[in-house]
Amino acid sequence: MKLSEEKIKDIAEHLDMGLVCFINPQTLETKIMVDPDHPDFMGDVWDADIEEIDTTWERFIKLEPMLPHASFVIMKDFLPQVSHSRTRVQLETALENRKPFRNFKAIIDRNFTLREAWFAHKAKSYQQWVRDQLEELDPEAE
């Protein structure tokens, strides 16, 4: 299955927002929605899409948001890009202590340039993660 870079970017952005993506590997059509398996799912808005997936798609691949451990790895992988040593140490300390996600975000949010670099790194990493998931989940991938 070969999705365009634009489609991969779109999927990654939606997964990062907590949504799920269903992909029809034959047509490459995608449906992005709130996870229908979530206990608080209110399907009225998504009923037509779910019915289409269930009745007309022969098979589908479901991509879910990244688990916290994978997000944590992306944060750790960002550290070598931080040129200011004091800030890098602060980020390392944030990741080693309690509430690493919140503390990491608080440090990132204090510096516009660092924040922009973080979002670029995170987007690129999430897109690669989507490619990896597609390769892993689609046994018929080229």
How would you class 86 by CB atoms within 10 Å of its CB: exposed for 0-12, middle for 13-18, buried for 19 or more? exposed
Which amino acid makes up residue 11?
I
Q: Which of 26-35, 78-87, 128-137 is modeled with the greatest confidence?
A: 78-87
- pLDDT for residue 43: 67
Do 130 and 12 form a contact (C-beta atoms < 8 A)? yes
- pTM to 2 decimals? 0.86
- pLDDT for residue 142: 44
Q: How far apart are CA 130 and CA 114, in angstroms?
A: 24
**Mean of the pLDDT values across residues 107-119?**
96
CA distances, 60 to each of 8, 88, 123, 135 (Å)? 16, 42, 24, 14
State yes or no: pLDDT of 31 exceeds 70: yes
Neighbours of 21 (CB within 10 A): 22
